Amino acid sequence: MNDPLERYHCQMALPGFGISSQELLNDAKILIVGMGGLGCPSAQYLVSSGIGTIGLADDDTVSESNLHRQILYAPEDIGKSKVDIATKKLKQQNPSVKIIPFNFRVTSDNVMDLISDFDLIIEGTDNFETKCLLNDACVLSGKPLVYGAIYQYEGQVSIWNVKQKDGSFSPNYRDVFPDAENVQVPNCAEGGVIPTLAGIVGCMQANEAIKYFTNPEDSLAGKLWMMNVLNGRTQIIKLRKTSVQITGLAQTVQVITFEKLMQEKGNFEIIDVRTPEEHLHFNIGGINIPVEELQDHLDYISGCSRPVLVYCQSGKRSAETVRKIKKAFPEKEIFSLKDGIHKIPL
């Protein structure tokens, strides 16, 4: 009979690692939220290292534009659930690891229950709303969160909210990015990203997770690691706590898919929040109110008798609009078009 630890021999041979560290990894439970460019390499290396239980949360399906950086997927997977494909391939990679798929969107309604059974969370998301939501949930529950971000040629990694020896916690996402929900930065589809960067940052996230369980003194808690793959430069900056207090979860923006919108289009007041030029070039109907001019049209929105659906190119501006409208009219039923219209054929 083969030795079940033989596959981990090379890491167990590391100075200070040994069988005791391998047992810690085997007992660990890690949740990865977002099975895209970061979640794929992170999951692969955590599975290969022998993490006992790994949860995968994502409600998206594989698209052709994912394939250049989301290395778990192949052309025949297009249109299929990311977590279903990832679960199958990761189980093939290491059958001894328990993989738990969560094929749904992480929201303020389910996040606390979702993370409750895990020791550490890794976020591989590409939107600030989910980054903030996961951060706040981890702060409220006292769990560590491994952060990763990529844009064009630059990447960042840290581990938030790690409990220190004196009982305090290391800086969290809002200590560094206090107003992140309102920041407009293009995602990979809009701004571009070199695929190798996703692999590097995803592997660094897996590395932080392994260190958290086996060698926490050398983690990136209280630090932000940054890399530019174009010139090869890396740097680590020290972070500090601020007076930001997290007392609850912000409500997640409600979304509707394009398919559902087409089925129920007559039930919504539709607003395109892009520029007039974008609206003229291509639109799916509705009135055009650019997000920058929203304040001047609150009377119109207040008078809408049906639920409001707002859309933009990628879903970022529409999500921002939903938050602004909900702030002005908390009881208004309003939705954002999931992923915007950039995937809709012209």
Residue-wise pLDDT for 270-307, tens only, equals 999 999 999 999 999 999 999 999 989 999 988 988 99
Mean pLDDT of the chain: 92
Residue 165 lies in a domain: yes
Residue 174 lies in a domain: yes
Q: Are strands 223-228 and 233-238 parallel, antiparallel or unpaired?
A: antiparallel
* Domain match, 15 and 117 both: yes
Residue 244 lies in a domain: no
Q: Which of 86-95, 200-209, 235-244 has the lowest mean pLDDT?
A: 235-244
* Domain match, 264 and 133 both: no
From 212, 238, 264, the end of a domain falls on 238
pLDDT in tens, 189-205: 667 889 999 999 999 99
| pLDDT value of residue 187 | 65
Residue 250 lies in a domain: no
Q: Which domain holds residue 327?
A: 255-337
For residue 307, the 8-state DSSP code is P
From 187, 212, 238, the end of a domain falls on 238
**pLDDT at residue 166 tops 60:** yes
CATH number of the domain to which 276 belongs: 3.40.250.10
* Domain match, 285 and 190 both: no
**pLDDT at residue 54 tops 60:** yes
> Residues 11-40: what's their mean pLDDT?
96
* Domain match, 321 and 193 both: no
> Residues 204-230: what's their mean pLDDT?
95
| pLDDT value of residue 170 | 96
* Domain match, 221 and 259 both: no
* Domain match, 59 and 165 both: yes
Higher pLDDT, residue 181 or 306: 306
* Domain match, 80 and 197 both: yes
| pLDDT value of residue 345 | 59
| pLDDT value of residue 1 | 43
> Residues 233-240: what's their mean pLDDT?
96
| pLDDT value of residue 331 | 87
Residue 214 lies in a domain: yes
Q: Cα–Cα distance between 223 and 126 in angstroms, integer?
A: 21
Q: How many CB atoms lie within 10 A of CB 129?
A: 23
CATH number of the domain to which 197 belongs: 3.40.50.720
Q: How many CB atoms lie within 10 A of CB 249?
A: 16
* Domain match, 267 and 130 both: no
| pLDDT value of residue 248 | 86
| pLDDT value of residue 129 | 87
| pLDDT value of residue 182 | 62
**pLDDT at residue 88 tops 90:** yes
Helix (H) or strand (E) run with residue 182 in it: none
C-alpha distances (whole Å) from 106 to each of 79, 128, 175, 246 are 20, 13, 22, 19
* Domain match, 192 and 329 both: no
**pLDDT at residue 90 tops 50:** yes
From 183, 212, 238, the end of a domain falls on 238
* Domain match, 154 and 98 both: yes
**pLDDT at residue 152 tops 50:** yes
* Domain match, 327 and 192 both: no
**pLDDT at residue 316 tops 90:** no
* Domain match, 212 and 111 both: yes
Residue 99 lies in a domain: yes
Split into its structural domains, the chain has a count of 2
